Chain A
Amino acid sequence: MKHDRKALLGTGLFGRYRDIFIAFLLLILPFLFYLSNVKAQRDHHFFDRIVVWVSYPVQWGVLTGLDTVTSVWDNYVALLNVNEDNQRLERENQELRLEMVAMEEYKIEAERLRKELNMHEALAEQGRLTAQVIGISPSPLFRSIRIDAGTMDGVELGQAVLSAQGLVGRVAATSWKHSDVMLIIDANSSIDVFIQRSRVRARVRGAGKDDNVGLDFEYLTRTADIEPGDTVLASGLGGIFPKGFLLGRVLKVESRAFGLHQQAVVEPAVDFSSLEVVSVLLSGAVEQGMRASAAGEE
């Protein structure tokens, strides 16, 4: 069989170096694809979606298995000394009941403030889709996560993704039942923000650097009032991220003796290495939230 194939291919230059030629071709073709795609960011096409779709059952199966094992451990194996814990919790419960009365007062105040802002309520009423993180980017050069919600759930390109801790990123590629989210610490991510204390506006860009120190200010003028510890919020400009959502805190500020700008680093509020559940703001949620906010100000 081998000899027949060799006879067909001939013993010429191609026949002799056939394998090397094909290997070279399979190296060059992806490279040319890369060169043509390098600047353009695009959504998943049909074949990409097939790959993602086929991958899901395996990822889901492993995660479900892990969650089952963890659940069995937490609910049965780890229930030693439960009686002692129960008594301790009873005591704590009594103390917490007393604290709750005090907290009720704070709640009333918080409700009033929320009504003034109005925005977060509007966002909650709008489509906010909860999704589970099912994968993370294997490459440190690209900071992304994969979630188990896609176009069939209403997810679209560019939608904001949040967690209880703060801004997570935006949808950068979609599939039918999954989406890839570019994290705010990715080098290609840039967000318009403002400092809560001084209301200074600026842009922050993902530095693609360390896990929790991942955002740099861009073009921050020397005169801008900014200090370490300042809270950084999304400005809402661009219509992707809702205004007033927490991005992080200023970690350090460096002013050189010369130059037009000062350097500042933002520590993201979100711990990206332990994300399990996120919320996707579906289309229209940000715009309606902004309108509600504007109406509240009036």
Chain B
Amino acid sequence: MYSLSWIVLGWLSYLSFNAFFTRFGFEYIIPDCMVIVIAFVATRRNLLALVYVTCCLGYIVGRQALGPTGLHETALTLSGLSVYFALGHLTVDNRFIFGLLSGVTVMGYHSFLFSLTWLFGAEAYFSSWATAILFPTGLLTAAIALLAYPLLEWFEGLVSVDKQEVFLSWR
């Protein structure tokens, strides 16, 4: 239920932002809400929930991006796991650090996408255009993550029924 809640939240926010930026976007710069959700789940130190969420959201975003099945799932899972293992046992409870983390994760995600396509796929171009929008996309995602952090904490409070147990459990 915990993972499903994050999947639904990631899906809905992704669809809403994508629709909004389809009308009012500037040169394909879209904040990646899925990455924000994944970065948040990764900071919660729940490995299984993280991989469930990354796989499902990767599948959903892959259907919109017209990529081959498995590409976005793998890239998003790699990004989530990178955040998970890079943080180690550090706790992220500062919205600014979380924003920064989300921005960096977006760039990592796109790098993973490019690497996988370039190494195993047909033709891949990490063009000047793609490079140029990567930083603004990361920056915009970081800004949205910064604003959304309290909401994500509130949402976590709603869906974490066994919060107490998680904190006491062995890892």
- What residues make up the interface of A, taking CB atoms closer than 8 Å to B? 2, 19-20, 22-23, 26-27, 30-40, 44, 48, 51-52, 55, 58-59, 62-63, 66-67, 133-142, 144, 146, 172-173, 180, 182, 187-188, 207-211, 273, 276
Contact = CB atoms under 8 A, between A and B. Distances in A.
A176 to B, nearest CB: 14
Given A2-B169, A33-B70, A138 B120 contact: no
Contact of A140 (B19, B72, B130): B130
A188 B125 contact: no
Given A37-B69, A44-B63, A135 B51 contact: no
Contacts of A34: 68-71, 73-74, 116, 120
Contact of B18 (A33, A36, A59, A66): A59
A52 B78 contact: no
Contacts of A276: 23
A137 B70 contact: no
A26 B55 contact: yes
Interface string B80-99: 01000000000000000000
Contact of B81 (A27, A44, A137): A27
Nearest to B47: A19
A273 B63 contact: no
B10 interface: no
Given A58-B12, A188-B122, A31 B70 contact: yes
Nearest to B18: A135
- The B interface, classified by DSSP as helix, strand, loop or mixed, is helix
Interface of B: 11-12, 14-16, 18-28, 30, 32, 47-48, 50-52, 54-55, 58-61, 63-74, 77-78, 81, 110, 113-114, 116-117, 120-130, 133-134, 165, 169
Given A135-B19, A140-B28, A19 B61 contact: no
A244 B51 CA distance: 50
A27 B77 contact: yes
Contacts of B123: 187-188, 208
Contact of A136 (B25, B71, B73): B25
B125 A209 contact: yes
A92 B101 CA distance: 55
Contact of A273 (B25, B67, B165): B25
Contact of A138 (B18, B77, B165, B169): B18
A34 B65 CA distance: 14
A32 B70 CA distance: 7
B80 to A, nearest CB: 9
Contacts of A52: 63
B70 A55 contact: no
20 contacts: A23-B81, A26-B51, A33-B69, A34-B70, A48-B63, A58-B12, A63-B23, A135-B64, A136-B18, A138-B30, A139-B65, A139-B67, A139-B72, A140-B129, A141-B65, A141-B113, A208-B127, A211-B129, A273-B26, A276-B23
Nearest to A175: B63
Given A142-B67, A172-B66, A31 B74 contact: yes
B113 A139 contact: yes
A248 to B, nearest CB: 16
Contacts of A188: 122-123
Contacts of A172: 66
A30 B113 contact: no
A253 to B, nearest CB: 20
B114 A141 contact: yes
Contacts of B122: 38-39, 187-188
Contact of B60 (A51, A63, A180): A51
Nearest to A187: B123
Contact of A62 (B16, B77, B130): B16
Contacts of A26: 51-52, 54-55, 77
Contacts of B134: 140
